[in-house]
Amino acid sequence: MKKRTLITAAAIAALGASSLVSTQAMAAQEQFFPMLVYRTGAYAPNGIPFANGMHDYYKLVNARGGINGVKLVVEECETGYATDRGVECYDRLKGKNGGATVFQPLSTGITFALTEKAPGDKIPLITSGYGRSESADGGVFKWNFPLAGTYWTGADVLVQHVAKTLGGMDKLKGKRIALVYHDSPYGKEPIPLLQERSAELGFKLDLLPVSHPGVEQKATWLQVRRNRPDYVFLWGWGVMNSTSIKEAVATGYPREKIYGVWWSGAEPDVKDVGAGAKGYQALAMQHSTGFDAPVVKEILQKVHGKGQGTGPKDEVGQVLYMRGLIAGMFAVEGVRAAQERFGKGKHVTGAQARWGYENLNLTQPKLDALGFKGVVRPLSTSCQDHMGSSHARIQTWDGKTWKITSDWYEADESVLKPMVKAAADKYAASKKLQRRTPADCQS
């Protein structure tokens, strides 16, 4: 009896071990992409289409067969755009499904918090077009990737564009620019760049903070009317943007003199104002609307066409939806790059994925093959450069839709590089960090 019991126990143990191996092998063929989203709260109208675009892109990648056969597992966690909830979501998801590949905080406040946690967990952060501007310096910020642009690059492009409309950078001297900004880490990010440019070029800078969520701005726009700035730069989000434009209409400030950051230039920001917002301009970090993009047509066929779309079909191709697609593509292509080193068709860890994001080489042929022709410019990262590109264009609301109305601008590296290095060095000193060595750049 005793002998039989031992045999049975051994058989059960063997079966359990076999099952564990099988489960591990299955998990090894999956890649976990957690999503921090905000589908509720004051910023939901902007957060929802972005999240839908990212989710649909992950579904498309699975429909294409995964990343060299590795299927994507996706789970959302609702942050409500609140930093504390974002950290809770990160802690809840980071160890699930074989470990998180990468996090995209979708909030500058959450980015600041996770910048302190990610290095210990060895999980990269993609902060495309937001977050800490100095994190473009990979020599200090090993785990942060502000791919394709930061708020400093965006602010610099706006300064360049205004100067071009005036006939040259020297024409900015004596002009007045008001920054109407969300009173949060996000809204404060462009201030150092604008102060630097103000001192250099001789324009006056007014700083006008707006409290969360931004529905009360009458005092702000009365100050705009009193100061009579030549231009207004709008650094808003969610309901703050449409409120700003409505207040500009009410106070008679010309909409064509208002320029928004890329988070202030989407359909939800202007649709309620309609023709009243005509002439309002904003940055397009990469693409604006993309209804004719090959990747959009493929999603309509392979995702929405099969009844698997995350949101309404008519949002596919809109500004924030496209931003979600681009964010998803960056996340996936970093893993694809990592597989080239660590094993094609295999699951990669967060640390291995970080190497991939640091060695991205998105050439035009690669982008075209992914369906992003005309949507994203080529981008290449390195150990020192975690941004990879600093281009943007201007788009204008014609009363019904967004239209690209400028050529590409590139942020002035002679201004940005010293600022980025100085800020990164200051951060490193405060955290007692050493700059990465050449050997570490190979890890």
pLDDT at 288: 77
Per-residue pLDDT reduced to its tens digit, 377-403: 999 999 999 999 999 999 999 999 999
Per-residue pLDDT reduced to its tens digit, 178-195: 999 999 999 999 999 999
pLDDT at 16: 46
pLDDT at 285: 87
CB of 206 within 8 A of CB of 179? yes
Per-residue pLDDT reduced to its tens digit, 11-33: 434 444 444 444 444 444 899 99
Per-residue pLDDT reduced to its tens digit, 194-239: 999 999 999 999 999 999 999 999 999 999 999 999 999 999 999 9
User: Any idea which architecture 152-284 has in CATH?
Assistant: 3-Layer(aba) Sandwich (3.40)
Other Cβ atoms closer than 10 A to 324: 30
pLDDT at 22: 40
143 strand-pairing partners:
none
Q: What is the pTM of this model?
A: 0.92
Q: Where in the chain is the domain with CATH 3.40.50.2300?
A: 30-149+290-389+428-442, 152-284
Range in 10-24, 36-50, 271-285 with the lowest mean pLDDT: 10-24
Other Cβ atoms closer than 10 A to 408: 12
3-state secondary structure the chain: CHHHHHHHHHHHHHHHHHHHHHHHHHHCCEEEEEEEECCCCCCHHHHHHHHHHHHHHHHHHHHCCCECCEEEEEEEEECCCCHHHHHHHHHHHCCCCCCECCECCCCHHHHHHHHHHHHHHCCCEECCCCCCHHHHECCCCCCEECCCCCHHHHHHHHHHHHHHHHCCHHHHCCCEEEEEEECCHHHHCCHHHHHHHHHHHCCEEEEEEECCCCCCCHHHHHHHHHHCCCEEEEECCCHHHHHHHHHHHHHCCCHHHEEECHHHCCHHHHCCCHHHHCCCEEEECCCCCCCCCHHHHHHHHHCHHHCCCCCCHHHCCCHHHHHHHHHHHHHHHHHHHHHHHHCCCCCCCHHHHHHHHHCCEECHHHHHHCCCCCCCCCEECCCCECCCCCEEEEEEECCCCEEECCCCEECCHHHHHHHHHHHHHHHHHHHCCCCCCCCHHHC
pLDDT at 11: 41
User: Quick check: 295 pLDDT over 90?
Assistant: yes
pLDDT at 287: 74
The arithmetic mean of pLDDT across residues 74-93, rounded, is: 98
Confidence of residue 406 (pLDDT cuts 50, 70, 90): very high
User: Any idea which architecture 30-149+290-389+428-442 has in CATH?
Assistant: 3-Layer(aba) Sandwich (3.40)
Per-residue pLDDT reduced to its tens digit, 153-181: 999 999 999 999 999 999 999 999 999 99
